[in-house]
């Protein structure tokens, strides 16, 4: 194999790797999956924040902050 042929193969491989790594934006299906994941995370977070132990802790924290003596 000559030097010219090796260079062409190397350039072709680099070009293919560049195209594979290229991220020109998400497709519609990726947006859909991302949106569903974000909604699921928001639902879990809402359930955690509105749970009784967390609500009690937040109320206690606010009460202590408002009753603080300066």
pLDDT at 62: 92
Q: What digits encode the pLDDT tens for the residues 16-60? A: 777 766 556 667 888 899 999 999 999 999 999 899 999 999 999
DSSP 19-31: HHH------HHHH
pLDDT at 16: 78
- Any idea what DSSP says for residue 40? H
Q: What is the token pair recorded at 10?
A: 């190397």
Instruction: Give this prediction's pTM.
Output: 0.48
Q: What digits encode the pLDDT tens for the residues 3-13? A: 787 788 888 88
- Any idea what DSSP says for residue 63? H
């Amino acid at each position: 194999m000559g030097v010219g042929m090796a260079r062409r193969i190397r350039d072709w491989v680099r070009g293919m790797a560049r195209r594979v790594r290229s991220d020109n934006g998400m497709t519609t299906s990726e947006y859909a999956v991302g949106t569903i994941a974000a909604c699921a995370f928001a639902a879990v977070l809402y359930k955690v924040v509105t749970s009784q132990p967390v609500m009690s802790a937040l109320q206690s924290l606010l009460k202590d902050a408002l009753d603080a003596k300066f």
